[in-house]
Chains A and B, each alone.
Chain A
Amino acid sequence: MAGLIENWKTQIRKGYLELCILLLIQAHKRLYGFDLLEKLEAVDLPLKEGTLYPLLNRMTLDGTLSAAWETKQLKGHPRKFYSLTKSGEKLLDEMREEFEKMLKTFKSVQ
């Protein structure tokens, strides 16, 4: 039983993980990887570093995010900041709409 619920949770999280990442980036305008990890943990959506960075990489390649290296204003090493592109904004709107539909369905079947 425990295995079943954990498996279900994993599947559900996969579905809204990208939505949450995009929401966080939109809310903060731009975030770098480590910062994003901390913010995801803060909303009880912990994610392995080895999973987040490849995901951000893919979302950059498919045009959802844009990335830029920055060293100004920050001491030490360069950091790669992510922000939403225009198509990323559009995608986020559609994902938000779909998610709200799902919530509505969930409430009505209850």
Chain B
Amino acid sequence: MPIDPQLENYLSRLDRALGQIAVSERSDIITEIKSHVLSAQEKNPAETLGQILASLGEPETVANRYLMERGLKPAPAPKTPMVKWLTIGFLGTLTLGVTLILVLIFKFTPLISVDEEKGRVQLLGGLIDVNEKMMSNMKIDGEVRFGDGSRHIEGEQKLRPGTKEINVRFTNGKLDVKPSRSDSVHWDCKLSGGDDAKIESKGSQFILDLSSNLGAKCDLLVPKIQGKLVISGINGKLELDRPQNATNVSLSNGKINVRPDRSLEYRYDNHVRVGKIDSFPSSSNPRALPIAIQVGNGKISLEN
């Protein structure tokens, strides 16, 4: 007599789930369960096969009880088709994501490369290219160029007595900062695109704000004050020539070169997140001038 497909399916699953048990014993178990089902059908013909099997429980659960009674490790619960497909979907997406990340890393390496000879800093495999020779022109992925409408500004401002901070801000630029022999700040800048520089004295602060300008190439003369020089920029190159003041510099991407004044002592606190940093001999003299330079991606070099 052919066996009902529903029962056949149940017994097949049970057999698979009992995999850890020897085949002869498995066969005995399957036969007993089948015998139970047939006995149940005989006893109560009104009860459907589905109800009898539901009363037995999922074949994997029954199998696990057999395994646990023998001190064996139960098999994992069966996954519904939905769970199976969700798992496949998740793993597939994860694999694609990882592959994409690997391709991006491969395409954009090296992440940063500094070419001193050509005065160039390249980020993300050349996606951002900061070139000192064409600083008024910013090249991004070879498609966008800045630099049209460049102009030249030059000026000088005597600092107010009691000025405690000289603050220079730029977005993209090359700045050469040297000591001034007077008590004035002097600037000589070639600006490209964007707005003009903003120059103002605010309280004890003198501010030279080039950040609205798209590319600035400046020679700055900065006097010695009883305070500090603060320079912040996004992309570019900075030359600090014989700093006479406590100096804080932050540059997201680019290169900073320091030429110390041999007659002064400096206490350095320099950091580069990704890139290179030369070894700076730092003085322990409490009177040494503090120089703190932070570069995100790039280089801090020492010129002796």
Contact = CB atoms under 8 A, between A and B. Distances in A.
Nearest to B57: A50
Contacts of A54: 62, 65-66, 68-69
A76 B32 CA distance: 14
A77 B41 CA distance: 12
Contacts, number: 57
Contacts of B31: 69, 78, 80
A16 to B, nearest CB: 18
A49 interface: yes
Task: Choose among A48, A69, A77 the residue with the greatest number of B CB atoms under 10 Å from its CB.
Answer: A77
A105 B292 CA distance: 83
A76 B66 contact: no
Interface string B29-46: 101111110111011000
A52 to B, nearest CB: 9
Given A34-B43, A50-B57, A76-B42, A58 B35 contact: no
A10 interface: no
Interface string A22-60: 000000000011100000000000001111011101100
Contacts of B56: 48-50
B61 A50 contact: yes
Contacts of B181: none
A51 B33 CA distance: 12
A79 interface: yes
With most chain B CB atoms within 10 A of its CB, the pick from A34, A50, A79 is A50
A34 B36 contact: yes
A108 to B, nearest CB: 35
A79 B38 CA distance: 10
Interface of B (DSSP majority class) = helix
A58 B70 CA distance: 7
A79 B40 CA distance: 12
Contacts of A57: 29, 66, 69
Given A50-B56, A50-B57, A77 B62 contact: no
What does DSSP make chain A's interface, helix, strand, loop or mixed? helix
A102 interface: no
Contact of B69 (A48, A58, A76): A58
Interface in B269-302: none
A53 B57 contact: no
A107 B61 CA distance: 39
Nearest to B32: A80
Contacts of A55: 69
A80 B243 CA distance: 99
Given A48-B57, A49-B55, A54-B62, A78 B35 contact: yes
Contacts of A33: 32, 35-36, 39
A50 B65 contact: yes
Interface in B53-85: 55-57, 61-62, 65-66, 68-70
Contact of A53 (B43, B55, B62): B62
Interface string A76-89: 11111000000000
12 contacts: A32-B35, A33-B35, A49-B55, A50-B56, A51-B65, A53-B29, A55-B69, A57-B29, A57-B66, A77-B35, A78-B31, A80-B31
Interface of B: 28-29, 31-36, 38-40, 42-43, 55-57, 61-62, 65-66, 68-70
Nearest first, the 10 closest Cβ-Cβ pairs linking A and B are: A58-B69, A50-B57, A34-B39, A54-B65, A50-B62, A54-B66, A77-B38, A54-B69, A80-B32, A49-B56
